[in-house]
Amino acid sequence: MEFWIELVVSVLLVLGAIFVFIGSLGLMKLPDFYTRLHGPTKATTLGMGCLLVASMALVTNQQGYLSLHELLITLFLLITAPVTAHMLAKTAMHHTLEMMDKTIDKDLSKRARERKNP
Amino acid sequence: MKAKPRFRLLPMPLHSLLLLIVWLLLNNTVAPGHLVLGAFLAFVIPLLTSGMQDPQPGFHKPLTIIRYVLMVLGDIVVANFEVARLVIGSAKKLNPAFVAVPLDIEYGLPITILASTVSLTPGTVSAEISEDKKWLYVHVLNLTDKDELIELIKHRYERPLLEIFQC
Amino acid sequence: MQHLPMLPILLPMLAAVFMLLPPLSTTITRQRVFSILVMVLLVIGSVFLLLDSHQQGTQVYVLGGWQPPFGITLVADRLSTLMVLLTSVLGLCAQLYACAGDDNDGMYFHPLFMFQIMGINGAFLTGDIFNLFVFFEILLIASYALLIHGGGKQKTKANIHYVILNLVGSSIFLFALGILYGTIGSLNIEDMASKVPLLGEHEQALAKAGGLLLLVVFGLKAALLPLHFWLPKTYAAASAPVAALFAIMTKVGVYSILRVHTTIFGEDAGALASIAIPWLWPLGWLTLIMGAIGVLASPSLRLTSANLVIVSVGTLMLALAMEREAATSAALYYTIHSTLVTGALFLIADLISEQRGKAEDRYVVARNMNHAKVIGIAFFIAGLTVIGMPPLSGFVGKILILQAAQGVVEMAWIWPVVLLSGLACLVAISRAGTTIFWRSTGDSPDEEPISALKLIAVALLLCASPLLVVFGGVVTDYTDLAADQLHDRAAYIDTIHEGGE
Amino acid sequence: MEAIYAFCVGVLTTCGFFLVLRGRTFTVVIGLTLLSYAVNLFLFASGRLKLDGAAVLGQSAEYSDPLPQALVLTAIVIGFAMTAFVVILAMRSRADQGNDHVDGQIPELPIKLGSSDKRNG
Amino acid sequence: MNLLWVVLLPLIGTLVPLLTERFGRNICAFSVAILPAWSLILVLMYAGGIFDGDAIRQTIEWIPAIGLDLSFRLDGLSLLFLLLILGIGLLVILYARYYLSSKDSMGQFYAYLMLFMSAMVGIVISNNLIQLWMFWELTSISSFLLISFWWHKSEARKGARMALTVTGAGGLALLAGLLLIGHMVDSYDLDTVLASGDAIRADAYYPVALILVLLGAFTKSAQFPFHFWLPHAMSAPTPVSAYLHSATMVKAGIFLMARFYPALAGTDLWFIIVSLTGLITLLLGAYIALFKHDLKGLLAYSTISHLGLITLLLGLNSELAAVAAVFHVINHAIFKASLFMAAGIIDHESGSRDMRKLNGLWKYMPYTATLAIVAALSMAGVPLLNGFLSKEMFFAETLNQSMLGSLSWIIPLLATVGAAFSVAYSLRFIHDVFFNGEPIDLPKTPKEPPRYMKVPVEILVTLCLLVGIFPVYVVEDLLHVASFAVLSHAVPEHNLAIWHGFNVPFFMSLLAMVGGLTIYYNRRHLFQFQAQFDEPDAKHIFEGAVQRVVSTSARITEKLENGSLQRYIFLLLISTLVMGASPLFDLSQNTGSRAQIPIDGVTITGAVLLILSAIATVIWHRRRFLALIFLSVVGLVVSLAFAQFSAPDLALTQLSVEIVTIILLLLALFFLPQNTSKESSNRRLSGDLFVAGMIGCVIGTICYAMLTSPLNTISDFFLANSKTGGGGTNVVNVILVDFRGFDTLGEITVLGIAALGIFKLIANMRIYMPTRDDKGRAWSNDPHPMMFEMVSQSLLPLALLVSVYIFLRGHNVPGGGFIAGLITAVAIIQQYIAHGVQWIKPRVKIDYQWLIAGGILIATATGLGSWIFDKPFLSTWFDYFNLPWIGEFELASAMLFDLGVYLTVVGAVMLILANLGKLTTSERIISKENV
Amino acid sequence: MLSIAIMIAAILVCVSLILNLWRLFIGPSRPDRILALDTMYINSIALIILFGVASSTTLYFEAALLIAMLGFVSTAAMCKYILRGDLIE
Ligand code: NA
Ligand code: NA
């Protein structure tokens, strides 16, 4: 296959993998649950995006037809990731997990826990 | 707003369109056979599942929709680099925060879309929605200016949604 | 007619399915009529199938038209058809008994019952070892569901034990199947039989492990010591018709040992010939003794009957261990006899316990019973049969086994236990009978009289006993032929191949 | 590769059987689930291991043995049915006996029962 | 087949009384008598031929497999016993008609009696060992019924049980013995057996066989040490005692010994066992009889003693002795039956059998007294009575033998002693009952019995006299043919004269008389002497023994079968370990010759994930939610493994099942304890771990050995025929829906049944619902988070679309009905979780039960469809079609089958999960189960 | 070049998976563990995609799709369990 396609694919693959990794890294090293929550929910979306685009490009190039179905996975992730994050945040607040001391407006989480107005 | 589906046979036209597209995506083809089958499914499945849908405000302004989607996608990319930076950097520098964003839009679907967008875009996760659906609680990974953030959310994301759902 | 071998599986299955759909699903009466009808049909069909395979030779049904060893085959030979007929008859009687009202103590009795029958028949008929597993699971899951029929603490508790043990058993079954396929490379029992002798040393060792693991699995089903402990309480807890039907379940295990270990690991399996026998001897022997001890120890008729099942299993294992036509034939006769009579005993125990209030079927003084005479006669006949007293079927089976043991080295082991277990049964049963029927507080019964249907069911089961003696000649001739057929492995292999072509 | 695979199967088997030997229904169920994983992997192994050999005609150069895969599929389904039943049975026995011990009553033990158990067991 | 009728008539007679009972006692008794009388006539018709010295044989084949034929033989011995059985039987019928009270069920009594009679007849005319044993056991059964006729009395029950157990045990021994003999001569035909006596005596197994047969005989004939059951059998109605326990059944053992005399007798072993047993029994019985206060007790022990006498005679290995034995059989039957009947009359008319109360009855019932006294004298062996003759022969024979060498004189001595005692107790019977002062507080004043009640006694006593006075004319011929049958060759010369002159036997008799008188005269001292030891009550000993056996076995059972599942599983695992490990020792080396795949990092990572999570599951198994999370990791990795090793279908299935399982477990866990504390001791834990570990090692080893060894399977066929024969390129799927579609059909059936069973379990379940979580927190106030609701319902159509996609492609690429079904189910369950039952209820109106049934039905119907084309069940069909513009597409029956799978899966999973969910809501199932 | 890229990517994803497992072990809270599990699902999707790319086959696309769809359900279910205990009410 042409060099530039291979180049693009390779770059996308590595980039995606890096984002995936960063997501997990964030999950690993960030200090409290709420901050950890950011890592996976986000990094993954783009990370997966890159990987899937790479795969699309490659398959398209190999099979000779335009392969777009990987987009579906991205679509699903985009739809579900926020809900996952939301549910997890709810559980965290339900368990009143402690957060970084420097967190601003900690007490809002208490209001949020009761689903009251601030 | 108990908007009855506009067409009895095609209760959710947008869904149907989406389904047809998804079908073609799934099968990686626009072969006529699949077009027919896809169309058929796009017609039948909504009929089956329309009962399982709470009535929601209808969509308007297709162009706005497209613009909104593209914008969000862009923001997602930015958001990821942003978060990547924060994650790699030392946790000391972070100053996380809880922010309550007042909502103007009503109804489940629009709010859900907004909350999702917020979750997908820079440094924020929608943690909770107040019972009266007037407030969106957001956890911010690294807060610089609270009002600025609220402003951003309301202008950049809520307004177009208001337009789209006309409520 | 060519599809006849499918009948014992399809008929109950479809019956069950239809009873889940309206109009049958709506009322119990419809289900009763329907299911009795179906069972009668099944009995008739089984008779025809038996005659077919007896006269025209083994019937091989090639499912999907895929030739063995590739597809699944049903093998209706003398042995399997006999077991199928036995199942149908027992099933019919249990069904009749249930229709007197027990079927209404919970949901889905009739569909589950039919599925149970389907599973058992399938296990008997299939000629494919993995398909055997599938049918085992069908009959097991159905039995799990039937066991809790009627509800109550005891049932739940017994069921927990029964289910968990059998789930572990199923896992072991799969391990064994994995090994066997991984070494022999085939699933068709006949094909495996023909390939086993050709295995290399490395594979042989593995295949042996597989074969022995299968023995564990079948031993668990058959309640072979030390895997029999679950049985008494489970059977005693089950509601009467279910327990009666369960009388055939242990026999499924015995049958599988017979099928697998005489066909795949039979005398001419080369290095893997009769790998099970060294284990069957002591285990069967001990099982028989444990069963006899259990019979003596049992405080209630249900438990006695359950332990009698174990006694029968032990006896059968000894017969199998002898590994000769005469013994196998004896085992087959004994199977018919013991299955039907233990089934009857479970029903009788229920008749008694529903008449005696709190005392139930325990061996304690209690008030008089309605129909004490009828039940008494029934119990007397069943008792004599299980003890092995003439003129009822028990003695023929006993003599057949004793005679088969003549000339076997282990005769000195077999005779005493077989005879003494008989004596133990005599002591236990006579105590049971005299206590239940002859020691009463004198209070008159208050339960309403027993439904005729139940009595008919019991009677049907019991008349098998004298019939087995009167027509003993015919029956033993058949079992002889069946045994020969089973031990003639080469012929078996050929028939399947012909069936294939 | 085969060695690692076999080792994993062994570990799963061990864990499964160990949990099956415990006294609480739910634990036993978890054990059975682990065990069924082991069983499925084992049964699958009877067709030997193969990379890039999916038994889809035209998709691979040489194919892995499809039969064990079919068997494992059946096994998985049956296993699921059984697990489902035993789980609900566990609930039922909790409902009927008031505790979730496999024998229906918690045996006298040297170790005191946990508080959670006094409340829920 | 007339001999058959000889048995059959009494057997049919069993039914007669049950039918005629309602017509009154006379008619009943009369009708009962007809059939045995008839059969007696039949016998007498044969008698002529027998006296001419030939034996009639008739045979019908029955169960050749066990050598059982209906085979009859009527010879002298049989004739003799037939006359006793049928003759005395008829008298007993007559007697019983008056004896039985109106409370007793006459029909039942007669029925049992006839059953017994036919059994006895069967024994004595059997010409087949098995058949003989069959009737033998039948006598045990019928005597059980007769002894326990008054079952409301405890001693009747106990006595009956004892008799049954002892004789039953003997029966088993007899069976073994007969089978051995049959094996020796390779035939169960009695003629053959009797003909080959030498072969039998020469056989290595002869001693065993002999002992076994004798055990049978001794138990039946109440020989020491098995005599104890007989006295307790006296709790039976007196007619029974008269019939069974004097005339017939107890003679069955004697008959057996006589029958097998040609085959088994003639060896020292025979002599030692039989004669000594007889001698001891003779003395013991005679001695104890003296001290019995109960009339029937006395008679019982005297019976024992006389049976001993006969046994002793048979044991002497002399032909004349055998003749004497036969003779005494006749005599004893006659006088003992009459004595029992007399005793019965006394009991019946005076209400007591206690000789301490019964005195001076002569005044009240002189006629009966006379009869009884004559009979008693005959029992004592007084001249001019039949007892005397056989006693004489007996004495003579004891003198003729020289078995014990120089000690042989002991036998005649002891014989005399025994005789003396029998004289003594006979005297006691006469004197204590009929004279010896006035009766002491009897329930009623004695009087003569009804006329016809005496007739049987009269007949028998007359016989005593006739035989005693005119032996030659009365019994000579019968005795001769009978003895001939016993000896099976010419009968030795013997002389039945009343007077043989002053010879030793005569003096022995005289001695016995005198001795008897002295003993009876000095009985007080004897009684005092006897009073020192309290005689053991066999009943208590026996019942006690049985009780001990029962309790011991109860203890054993409790010990082993202690109801601990953990133990049972442990045993199961041990067995598995042994069975799985033992063959591995033959395994020379684990590694086979197959090329292995190089290791790569991803696999290692997977392995690490798998192993660590599995171990974590174990470590945290008491914190259940945690265990669940780790469990799902294991499941995930397993499905990844399937993916890596070229099994995409497995990966998909595993994944979807995985998720459903997790949801299921979560649903269930809510109702169960969240955490439990440590319950097993470390010893147990390490033990369990050890066994589990060992099995793990075994399985792992086998797995490795398997993986590394080459294999050629039947699968090439599937690969080759998948497309051409099954119309699909996804071979796995084609196997599932076509090659092995039957498995799949079974598999979905299992799923369906499981769903039904679970429904059964859930119905009416009343279960504790925690209101706070395990940390004591109240539950969140948000049952249905809005975002989740919104997203779930908008995902539903997508999910359905995907499942259609997965379904349709299954035949050619990974996918299929099962996975599609699970996806649909999960999508619907997601709605339940998101919206709750109340929201779903109006929106989903499917009856999942119908889905299951429909699914299985469709799949089956697809299979049945092939019958139309005369193909076997589940034969599949497929074809390619080409529509303009749309292009080519395939239709296959397999798809219909797969649809069945799909529906069943959806139905089953929904039935399970939805109803489980409803458990906490108002929609929970209420059925009539446990209501 | 592509193969190297794939290798690097594979290593990164594997390391991520290990990291997830580590978080799963150390917790400390249940939400942490659920989050780790969810991330694991997503990372395994990545792994499968890489696998497909490496062996240039589309056979595993559905597996990835399924994890994306069902992983979400199981995560949500677990959260619901913690929030309400009762999944379906
Ligand atoms: Na965000
Ligand atoms: Na619920």
pLDDT tens track for A24-63: 999 999 999 999 998 887 777 889 999 999 999 888 888 7
d(CA E342, CA E457): 7
CB C486 within 8 A of CB C411: no
| A82 C-alpha to ligand 1 centroid (Å) | 9
Q: Which chain F residues touch E659 with a CB distance below 8 Å?
A: 70-71, 73-74
CA distance E921 to chain F (A): 6
pLDDT recorded at residue C1: 66
Residue D57's pLDDT band, with cuts at 50, 70 and 90, is: confident
Which residues in chain E show pLDDT less than 50? Answer: 928-931
Return residues 20-49 of D near E (CB < 8 Å): 20-27, 29-31, 33-34, 37-38, 40-42, 44-49
Q: Which ligand is nearest to the CA of B76?
A: 1
For residue D60, the cross-strand partners are: none
Chain F contact present for D2, CB below 8 A:
no
How many helices (H) and strands (E) in chain A? 5, 0
d(CA E678, CA E675): 10
Provide the angle, in degrees to the nearest 10, between the axes of the packed helices F61-84 and E648-669: 10
Please report all neighbours of D, defined by 3+ CB atom pairs within 8 A: C, E, F
Own/partner pairs, F53-57, CB within 8 angstroms, 24+ separation? F53/A9, F53/A13, F53/A54, F53/A55, F53/A58, F53/F6, F54/F3, F54/F6, F54/F10, F55/D51, F55/D52, F56/A58, F56/A59, F56/A62, F57/D52, F57/D54, F57/D59, F57/D60
Q: Does D86 sit within 8 Å of C164, measured CB to CB?
A: yes
Q: Does C177 sit within 8 Å of D43, measured CB to CB?
A: yes
Q: What share of chain E is helix, strand, coil (3-state, %, to 5)?
A: 75, 5, 25
d(CA E355, CA E426): 13
pLDDT recorded at residue C500: 53
Q: How many CB atoms lie within 10 A of CB A107?
A: 9
Q: Does E672 sit within 8 Å of D45, measured CB to CB?
A: no
Q: Which ligand is nearest to the CA of B139?
A: 1
CB E572 within 8 A of CB C227: yes
Q: Tell me the Cα Rg of chain A.
A: 19
Mutate to test the interface with B, among A51, A95, A108 (most CBs of B within 10 A): A108
Chain E contact present for B99, CB below 8 A:
no
Nearest to C293 by CA among C282, C302, C304: C304
Closest chain A residue to F10 measured between Cα atoms? A17
For residue C36, what are the contacts with CB-CB under 8 A and spacing of at least 6?
Answer: C92, C95, C96, C99
**How does DSSP assign B83-127, residue by residue?**
HHHHHHS-GGG---EEEEEE----SHHHHHHHHHHHHHSTTEEEE
Q: Does B54 sit within 8 Å of E793, measured CB to CB?
A: yes
Decide: C and A in contact? Rule: 3+ Cβ pairs under 8 Å. no
Mean pLDDT, chain F, integer: 93
Query: Rounded to 10 degrees, what is the CA torsion of E188, E194, E199, E204?
Result: 60
Q: Tell whether the model's pLDDT for residue C289 goes beyond 60.
A: yes
pLDDT recorded at residue B7: 55
Of C63, C186, C419, the CB nearest to E172: C419
pLDDT tens track for C316-368: 999 999 988 999 999 999 999 999 999 999 999 999 998 888 888 888 888 88
| Encoded tokens for D12 | 């799963």
Span B80-103, average pLDDT? 89
What distances in angstroms separate CA E190 from CA C406, E78, E182, E482, one per listed residue? 20, 13, 9, 17
User: β-strands C73-76, C59-62: how paired?
Assistant: antiparallel
For ion ligand 2, residues whose CB falls within 5 Å: E 917, 920; F 86, 88-89
3-state secondary structure C74-93: EEECHHHHHHHHHHHHHHHH
d(CA A14, CA A6): 12
| E785 C-alpha to ligand 2 centroid (Å) | 15
| B118 C-alpha to ligand 1 centroid (Å) | 4
d(CA C310, CA C304): 10
| Encoded tokens for D100 | 């979730």
ipTM for the predicted complex? 0.94
Span C399-415, average pLDDT? 90
Chain A contact present for E786, CB below 8 A:
no
d(CA A38, CA A23): 8
Closest chain E residue to F39 measured between Cα atoms? E633
Span F56-77, average pLDDT? 92
What distances in angstroms separate CA C306 from CA C90, C236, C378, E569, one per listed residue? 16, 7, 18, 20
Phi, psi of F32 (to 5 degrees): -55, -45
Residue D116's pLDDT band, with cuts at 50, 70 and 90, is: very low
What distances in angstroms separate CA B141 from CA B150, C254, F35, F79, one per listed residue? 14, 68, 17, 22
pLDDT recorded at residue D9: 97
Span B58-70, average pLDDT? 86
Return residues 125-154 of E near C (CB < 8 Å): 130, 133-135, 137-138, 140-141, 144, 148, 151-152
Answer left, alpha or beta for residue C445, where phi above 0 means left and psi between -120 and 50 means alpha: beta
Mean pLDDT, chain D, integer: 87
Of A82, A83, A115, the CB nearest to E782: A115
Return the DSSP state at C198.
G
For residue C414, what are the contacts with CB-CB under 8 A and spacing of at least 6?
Answer: C285, C318, C401, C402, C405, C408
| B156 C-alpha to ligand 1 centroid (Å) | 13
| E914 C-alpha to ligand 2 centroid (Å) | 8
| Encoded tokens for D88 | 């609900």
Return the DSSP state at C103.
G
Q: Which ligand is nearest to the CA of E913?
A: 2
d(CA A112, CA C112): 51
Q: Tell whether the model's pLDDT for residue C404 goes beyond 50.
A: yes
Chain B contact present for E667, CB below 8 A:
no
What distances in angstroms separate CA C156 from CA C108, D94, E513, E911, one per listed residue? 17, 10, 76, 21
Chain D contact present for C64, CB below 8 A:
no
More confident: C174 or C268: C174
Q: Tell whether the model's pLDDT for residue D121 goes beyond 60.
A: no
d(CA D120, CA E622): 14
Tell me, rounded to whole angstroms, the distance of Cα E817 from its chain centroid: 51
Query: Rounded to 10 degrees, what is the CA torsion of E5, E11, E13, E18?
Result: -160
Nearest to E302 by CA among E180, E133, E400, E428: E428
pLDDT recorded at residue D112: 46
Please state whether the peptide bond connecting residue C111 to the residue before it is cis, i.e. omega within 30 degrees of 0: no
pLDDT tens track for C262-288: 889 988 788 888 899 999 999 999 999
pLDDT recorded at residue E924: 79
pLDDT tens track for C49-92: 999 999 998 999 999 989 888 999 999 999 999 999 999 999 99
pLDDT recorded at residue E173: 95
Please report all neighbours of C, defined by 3+ CB atom pairs within 8 A: D, E
Span C195-207, average pLDDT? 91
pLDDT recorded at residue A89: 95
pLDDT recorded at residue D120: 42
Closest chain A residue to B118 measured between Cα atoms? A82
Q: Tell whether the model's pLDDT for residue B166 goes beyond 90.
A: no
Query: Rounded to 10 degrees, what is the CA torsion of C177, C178, C184, C185?
Result: 110
| C387 C-alpha to ligand 2 centroid (Å) | 54
Nearest to F78 by CA among E631, A21, A114, E790: E631
Closest chain A residue to E796 measured between Cα atoms? A76
pLDDT recorded at residue D113: 44
Residue type, E919: L
H/E stretch holding E460 reads: helix E451-469
| D96 C-alpha to ligand 2 centroid (Å) | 19
| Encoded tokens for E107 | 């029909």
Q: Tell me the Cα Rg of chain B.
A: 19
| E790 C-alpha to ligand 1 centroid (Å) | 19
CA distance D61 to chain C (A): 22
